[in-house]
Amino acid sequence: MAEALHEQLLRMARHVRDPQRHAPPPGIEARRLAVYRQLFFGNLESLLAGAFPVARASLGSAAWQALVQAFYADYRCRTPLFTELAGEFVDYLEAGETPDVPEWLAELAHYERVESVLLLSAADEPDCDPQGDLLDGVPALSSLAWPLAYRWPVVEIGPGHLPQQEPAQPTLILAQRQADQRVHFSRLAPLAHALLLSLQERDVSGGEHLALLAEAIGVAPEEILPAGLALLQSLRAQGVVLGTRACA
């Protein structure tokens, strides 16, 4: 009895997700099954439309509906949490298995997703000395400040601007949840983006970060020291760098 019920539920779930490929379970009125299909798909589509308004508007209604239907039918989410479904949708797009979608769509969806992730983040900020020496100490990057890099101009994409060709230069962005509890996005110069990535990846002094950047671009450390220190000070003033920790 239990096995029969389990099989019936599986058949119903498969049919509700993809009625074109899976027959309905016997004994259930077609009208009721249609209600289930509309209810479940409608809830999912509404949730994703709210999470990705620019992507939805840029694709247009028909293409968006087809994409969500394919996601609903084919993708196996790894979470039961509604707040994580948008992340699963981004993973689905980044896997590159979605036919007939623009190349920029996965990056645009990721960009739109960042805001809600930062808004909901409960990450602890690192302990540090707010007035520490930025060259001798280890600059502490806020856990709510993310340097981002995209191949496509995600900031500009919308129904009136659909890029046909990947630009020569990437779009570099800082996403930060600030004290007003809002997420702010700002463009980054290449040096600032490289420095923020270095702060994310290495626990070394500010002076060592700048030396590594100088080596990467093929100049002597003293050539970028004044500009690098000014940048670190500016990042601290913005709350992106919270202060410093002692070197290990």
Distance CA 187, CA 232 (A): 16
Together in a domain, 145 and 223: yes
Distance CA 129, CA 139 (A): 9
Distance CA 232, CA 62 (A): 47
Residue 221 falls within a domain, yes or no? yes
Domain that holds residue 149: 138-245
Together in a domain, 189 and 91: no
pLDDT digit string, tens, across residues 110-159: 999 999 999 999 999 989 999 999 999 999 999 999 999 999 999 999 99
Residue 55 falls within a domain, yes or no? yes
Counting the structural domains of the chain, the total is 2
pLDDT of residue 11: 67
Residue 195 falls within a domain, yes or no? yes
Residue 66 falls within a domain, yes or no? yes
Residue 130 falls within a domain, yes or no? no
Residue 122 falls within a domain, yes or no? no
- Degrees to nearest 5, angle at CA 174 with 173 and 177: 140
Please list the ranges in the chain whose pLDDT falls under 70. Answer: 1-30, 32-35, 247-248
For residues 104 and 163, the answer to whether their CB atoms sit within 8 Å is yes
| DSSP summary character for residue 164 | S
Distance CA 148, CA 170 (A): 10
Give the Cβ contact number of residue 27 at 10 Å: 6
